[in-house]
């Protein structure tokens, strides 16, 4: 694949709806904040990658294009793995708008099919350790969150959990949410005649 040979990419996150760009990250120096990079797919113009740096020297990852391609939701942080903040950036100008307050670990955002809600994994309300799926309304015309985040799942653990933030993922359709939930149970067994 010409794309993979041409660029040094750490992780691929998403394709633009028009199929011209792929959002990825490149971290050539582990001490530098990781920017969001939009790479053109082979044969598309312009032919050079576009780098978008996050505010305040944060690293950016887990990028997701909105359905109309105007916005990209990202996870940004300085304090891994304790806290992260969701931001949305406009594709034309790269200005970042803060979506969540940075008080929890918010990550893995997914857009609703109409682009008016952003769903995400978060440790908010779970004592800083238990992930749940939250949502926040979004105005795609103005590029602003509307209101406060709202809870969709109410897992309290430890018997039912969304697997850790690195591996936790989910999918959204028009009227469905698909999420893996790990269930843990235990029993006490007694052995007789143990020698």
Strand ranges inside the chain, DSSP E: 11-15, 21-25, 36-40, 50-52, 59-65, 71-77, 85-90, 96-98, 106-111, 117-122, 132-139, 144-151, 160-161, 171-172, 177-178, 182-183
- Averaged pLDDT of the chain: 83
Ramachandran angles phi, psi of 55, nearest 5°: -70, 150
Q: What is the mean pLDDT of residues 166-173?
A: 75
**How far is 164 from 31, CA to CA, in rounded Å?**
25
Band the pLDDT of 4: cuts 50, 70, 90.
very low
Q: What is the DSSP letter of 17?
A: T
Cβ contact 77:107 at 8 Å: no
Does residue 2 register a pLDDT over 60? no
Task: Kindly list the structural domains of the chain, giving each domain's residue range(s) and its CATH number in brackets, ordered by start.
Answer: 2-183 (2.120.10.30)
**Percent of the chain scoring above 90 in pLDDT:** 33
How much is the pLDDT for 80? 62
Does residue 40 register a pLDDT over 90? no
How much is the pLDDT for 167? 61
Band the pLDDT of 34: cuts 50, 70, 90.
confident
Q: What is the mean pLDDT of residues 164-184?
A: 77
Band the pLDDT of 10: cuts 50, 70, 90.
low
Tokens encoding 1: 């694949």
Highest mean pLDDT among 22-26, 54-58, 69-73, 155-159: 69-73
């Amino acid at each position: 694949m010409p794309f993979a040979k041409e660029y040094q990419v750490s992780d691929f996150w998403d394709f633009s709806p028009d199929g011209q760009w792929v959002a990825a990250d490149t971290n050539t120096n582990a001490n530098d904040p990781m920017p969001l990079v939009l790479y053109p797919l082979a044969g598309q113009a312009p032919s050079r990658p576009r780098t978008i740096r996050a505010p305040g020297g944060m690293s950016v990852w887990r990028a997701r294009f909105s359905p109309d391609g105007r916005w990209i939701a990202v996870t940004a942080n300085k304090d891994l793995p304790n806290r992260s903040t969701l931001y949305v950036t406009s594709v034309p100008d790269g200005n970042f708008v803060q979506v969540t307050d940075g008080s929890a670990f918010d990550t893995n955002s997914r857009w609703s099919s109409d682009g008016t809600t952003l769903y995400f994994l978060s440790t908010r309300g779970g004592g800083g350790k238990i992930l749940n799926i939250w949502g926040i309304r979004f105005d795609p015309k103005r590029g602003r969150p509307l209101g406060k985040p709202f809870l969709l799942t109410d897992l309290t653990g430890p018997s039912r959990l969304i697997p850790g933030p690195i591996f936790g993922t989910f999918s959204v359709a028009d009227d469905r949410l698909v999420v893996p939930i790990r269930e843990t149970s235990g029993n006490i067994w007694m052995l007789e005649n143990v020698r």
